[in-house]
Amino acid sequence: MSLTSHSTLAVPGSVANLGGGFDTLAVAVQVYLRLKILEVRDDGGARLTVVNSSPPVRGRNAVERAFEAMVRWTGREAPSVFAEVESDIPMAAGLGSSAAAAVAGLRAFERVTAPVPEGVLLAVATSLEGHADNAAAALHGGLTSVIETEGQEPRALRWAWPDELRLIVATPSTGLATAKARAALADAIPRRDAVFNLQRVLSLMHALQSGEYGRLREAVQDRWHQPARASLIPQLTAVLALEDPEMLGSFLSGAGPSVAVLARRDCARLEQLLKSTYERAGVAATVRTLDVHQPSEVFAL
């Protein structure tokens, strides 16, 4: 078997939590992991091998692990696949790099076997990731929320994301392991903080669906995870405190250390504002404006 066309898959990165939607909300953004299938051998090998990865990955590639997880999950026969991976999604940055790699492996499995139900794809991605939010956005594009029930496959709900809203993302050069960011969290939170977040995440969804963007700054506030992680995230407190008429809201991207700002216009100036905030603190950071990867956009190139 030989693939001579349509052999490249593109999977978006994602920004999770969006303030108060801890482990629940994520939105896909236009920064991508691309997997190019180089060779497919009909030998029943049921294995994907990444022959080249940019940037390099230490140990077994998450793309390879995801492909093999699909083999075990579905019980299907599968060929040996050889591929190369190129990713613009920074690793350990809170932009869904591991979820994108897992989804790329799942999509590659589909490409060389047959389509797999979306619920199965999300279940396998979640089993590899440990949580479903980034995986749902990488699979479906756009804004998603997830529901996880013990003993059942996780489910993704899709929400409209306004085309005019963009995310300006600042990524410090020092990464942060998700495990370390999670270890900073308390096992329980006060009831008043739980109510605070629930009120604001519902306000966020209402603002996004209704176009009432003046509500966003308050709607992305959080008391569950951002305060606990502030000491681990360079300039998180400073960015959250910035006030500018074109900054509609700011929040930690996933587990960090990236921080995201919502804006409709004047993004170049806001990029400079963020850059100067990090520079004054002597922190090296990459700042970029990202559009949302909408569900209608094609994953396969």
pLDDT for residue 297 is more than 70: no
**How confident is the model over 188-240, as pLDDT tens digits?**
999 999 999 999 999 999 999 999 999 999 999 999 999 999 999 999 999 99
The CA–CA distances, whole Å, from 271 to 56, 154, 210 equal 28, 36, 26
Residue 93 lies in a domain: yes
Residue 295 lies in a domain: no
Last residue within a domain, chosen from 139, 159, 179: 159
Residue 112 lies in a domain: yes
Residue 53 lies in a domain: yes
* Nearest C-alpha neighbor of 159 from the set 52, 21, 60, 30: 21
Q: Are both 90 and 220 inside the same structural domain?
A: no
Q: Are both 99 and 212 inside the same structural domain?
A: no
User: What is residue 296's predicted lDDT score, i.e. its pLDDT?
Assistant: 59
Lowest-pLDDT choice from 42-51, 64-73, 123-132, 174-183: 174-183
Q: Are both 32 and 79 inside the same structural domain?
A: yes
Residue 3 lies in a domain: no
CA 11 to chain centre: 10
Residue 298 lies in a domain: no
Phi, psi of 146, deg, nearest 5: -125, 150
User: What is residue 100's predicted lDDT score, i.e. its pLDDT?
Assistant: 97
Is 169 in contact with 290 (CB distance < 8 Å)? yes
pLDDT for residue 83 is more than 50: yes
The CA–CA distances, whole Å, from 122 to 14, 23, 73, 134, 158 equal 15, 14, 12, 10, 13
If 0-12 CB within 10 Å is exposed, 13-18 middle and 19+ buried, where does residue 78 land?
A: buried
- Averaged confidence pLDDT in the chain: 93
What CATH number should be reported for the domain holding residue 233? 3.30.70.890
Last residue within a domain, chosen from 127, 159, 191: 159
Q: Are both 137 and 218 inside the same structural domain?
A: no
Residue 296 lies in a domain: no
> Mean pLDDT: which of 25-34, 55-64, 144-153 is highest?
25-34
Domain containing residue 26: 8-159
Last residue within a domain, chosen from 100, 134, 159: 159
Q: Are both 127 and 228 inside the same structural domain?
A: no
Lowest-pLDDT choice from 109-123, 174-188, 191-205: 174-188
pLDDT for residue 152 is more than 80: yes
Q: Are both 147 and 128 inside the same structural domain?
A: yes
The CA–CA distances, whole Å, from 192 to 65, 96, 224, 284 equal 41, 30, 11, 37
The number of domains in the chain is: 2
Mean pLDDT of 169-186: 86
What CATH number should be reported for the domain holding residue 125? 3.30.230.10
Q: Are both 91 and 15 inside the same structural domain?
A: yes
Mean pLDDT of 161-190: 90
Mean pLDDT of 64-93: 96
Residue 272 lies in a domain: yes
**How confident is the model over 4-37, as pLDDT tens digits?**
344 899 999 999 999 999 999 999 999 999 999 9
Q: Are both 121 and 44 inside the same structural domain?
A: yes
**Across the chain, which distance is largest between two alpha carbons, in Å?**
60
Q: Are both 120 and 22 inside the same structural domain?
A: yes
Query: Residue 90: is the preceding peptide bond cis (ω within 30°)?
Result: no
Radius of gyration of the chain, Cα coordinates, nearest whole angstrom: 19
Q: Are both 70 and 183 inside the same structural domain?
A: no
User: What is residue 298's predicted lDDT score, i.e. its pLDDT?
Assistant: 41
Q: Are both 116 and 242 inside the same structural domain?
A: no
Q: Are both 138 and 243 inside the same structural domain?
A: no
